[in-house]
Amino acid sequence: MRAGDWFEPGSGAAMRHEAVLARAAGAPAVLLGETHDRADIHRWQAHVIAGLMAHRRDIVVGFEMFPARLTPVLAEWVAGGLDEAGFLERAEWRQVWNFDPELYMPIFRLCRDFGLEMIGLNCRRGLVSEVGKLGWEGVPEPEREGLTPACAASPDYRRFLFEITGGPHPDRTAQTPDDPAFDRFVRAQQTWDRAFACRIAARLNEPDKPLVVGIIGRGHLEYRGGTPAQLEDLGVAGAAVLLPHDLGRPHAAGQADAVCVMPQAAERDIATGRQSA
């Protein structure tokens, strides 16, 4: 396989680029997973959005990186009312995300250049902490930002979260995915999952019914236990999950609808202007 090739996780069966995008364009939403600090993955996300535009132009791009309250600023950026420095300042980039903005600018510029609506998917960080500590019932409804309580995490999702956060080790209080000591983390994670799903579902419920593309960390998407499960609970079935993939890393059935091979490390270094050691 080479960079840009698509395949089905688990079986490894090759998938045609045009077929993957055509099928995704027919879904109500397309969720593009990411590792936040990888420039090559953000370029891949921009390429996928551009490919989807060949199938339909009514695309809305939703971002984990922005809380929903900043959506008016995103609209001002798309409309051409802000330069890049002004956009990052008004969008509170250093406060709400603070990764190198150049990682994401290819996507932001694409949206502005083609007039693609941008929306924030996130909630305030304090809500995540409060739900983790107190549960949904412990947060007054006016402070929930219009979000609804998350549906229960499946045993598979709890197991997935437990493993990606280190699994059992002597210094960890929770020693199994079912340990009540792990509940607080699961509730916090699901607050994000539900927030992204609620924002996507709300936009899909508007009369124009666009294709919503979500730019979201892959841990919320893999094996469909996070945001995809919350979308299902909200009545949005069949969201497409597409993920980037580094050759040599494991993959398994059900991880995503399709995965795309990323450049090798040395090629990524050249592409981002870094020199390999």
pLDDT in tens, 23-78: 999 999 999 999 999 999 999 999 999 999 999 999 999 999 999 999 999 999 99
Look at residue 215 and give its three-state secondary structure.
strand
How confident is the model over 183-204, as pLDDT tens digits?
Answer: 999 999 999 999 999 999 999 9
| pLDDT for residue 266 is more than 90 | no
Residue 268 pLDDT level (bands cut at 50, 70, 90): low
CATH number of the domain within which 113 lies? 3.40.50.11550
Residue 1 lies in a domain: no
pLDDT of residue 273: 43
Amino acid symbol at 136: W
Within 8 A by CB and 6+ apart from 33, the residues are: 216, 217, 218, 220, 221, 222, 241, 242, 243, 244, 256
Rounded CA-CA distance 148/191 in Å is: 9
Q: What is the mean pLDDT of the segment spanning 79-95?
A: 98
Q: State mean pLDDT over 150-177.
A: 95
Helix (H) or strand (E) holding 156: helix 155-164
Q: Is the pLDDT of residue 8 over 90?
A: yes
Give me the number of domains the chain comprises.
1
**What was the pLDDT predicted at 236?**
98
Q: Tell me the whole-structure pTM to 2 decimals.
A: 0.94
What is the arithmetic mean of pLDDT over 269-273? Answer: 49
Structural domain includes residue 138: yes
Decide if 39 contacts 87 (C-beta within 8 A): no
Q: Is residue 277 part of a domain?
A: no
Give the pLDDT confidence score for residue 231 in this predicted structure. Answer: 98
Question: Would you say residue 274 has pLDDT above 50?
Answer: no
Q: Is residue 47 part of a domain?
A: yes
147, part of any domain: yes
Lowest mean pLDDT among 220-224, 247-251, 272-276: 272-276
Q: What is the number of alpha carbons within 13 Å of residue 80 lying toward its C-beta?
A: 3
Confidence of residue 265 (pLDDT cuts 50, 70, 90): confident
Q: Which residue segment(s) compose the domain that 51 sits in?
A: 6-271
Q: For 2, what's the count of Cα atoms within 13 Å in the CB-facing half-sphere?
A: 0
For residue 122, is pLDDT > 90? yes
**226 inside domain:** yes
Q: What are phi and psi of 102, to 5 degrees?
A: -65, -20
- Over 70: is that where the pLDDT of 275 sits? no
Give pLDDT, residue 264.
Answer: 85
Identify whether 276 is part of a domain: no
pLDDT for residue 117 is more than 80: yes
Q: Reduce the DSSP state of residue 246 to 3 states and report it.
A: coil
Percent of the chain topping pLDDT 90: 94
Residue 69 resides in a domain: yes
Mean pLDDT of the chain: 95
Report the pLDDT averaged over residues 165-174.
92
